[in-house]
Amino acid sequence: MQPTIIALASDAQHRFSKIAQTSLELVAGLGVAGDAHAGRTVQHLARVAKDPAAPNLRQVHLIHAELFDELAAKGFNLAPGEMGENITTQGIDLLGLSAGTRLLLGRVAVIEITGLRNPCHQLNGFAPGLMAATLGKTANGELIRKAGVMAVVITGGTVAVGDGIEMQSLPLVHEPLLPV
């Protein structure tokens, strides 16, 4: 299956869920045009309070649609954008990517994966128990965060629902994703 963008969302307000869109404009070094989390420095309100000058490693949030299938099996029926993601993908193992992986979205936009989204208590405000449902454990007890990955925009461009996703480059050495 060709990796594909199956949904897009953004919101100019700092709300938990984002509003469905048919296309998004990605802006190099900033993120999603018009989205509350776009900027060169951190925009997530809790992170701004800690260090407003920190670089924004969370310009674009991606979640794999396969997570929604997994959550549906646990009784959570979620639509794309409801967990705050900008881009919902299908057919690509986002959580298995290396930090520093660059993805071509559509024809020209390029993003670089910076790390994992760390699930927060706001998930439980949306649906009780959702935070725990987005976490897992490896066979040796290590925590698995499943709530998607974060990225920065390297090359801007318009992306639309139905656009393909291609690996543009991989780091020479695989760096496991850590929360950012």
Domain of 83 in residue numbering reads as 4-169
124, 129, 130, 136: CA torsion to nearest 10: 130
Question: Does residue 85 fall inside a structural domain?
Answer: yes
CATH number where 148 lies: 2.40.33.20
pLDDT in tens, 12-25: 999 999 999 999 99
Return d(Cα 12, Cα 32) in angstroms, integer: 10
Question: Does residue 116 fall inside a structural domain?
Answer: yes
pLDDT mean over 37-63: 95
Question: What does the pLDDT read at residue 120?
Answer: 86
Structural domains in the chain (count): 1
Question: Does residue 97 fall inside a structural domain?
Answer: yes
Task: State pTM to two decimals.
Answer: 0.97
Return d(Cα 57, Cα 138) in angstroms, integer: 26
| Secondary structure (3-state) at 18 | coil
pLDDT in tens, 107-151: 999 999 999 999 988 999 999 999 999 999 999 999 999 999 999
Percent of the chain with pLDDT over 90: 94
**Confidence label for 32 from pLDDT (cuts 50, 70 and 90):** very high
Question: Does residue 180 fall inside a structural domain?
Answer: no
Question: Does residue 174 fall inside a structural domain?
Answer: no
Tokens representing residue 116 in the block: 């994992």
Question: Does residue 78 fall inside a structural domain?
Answer: yes
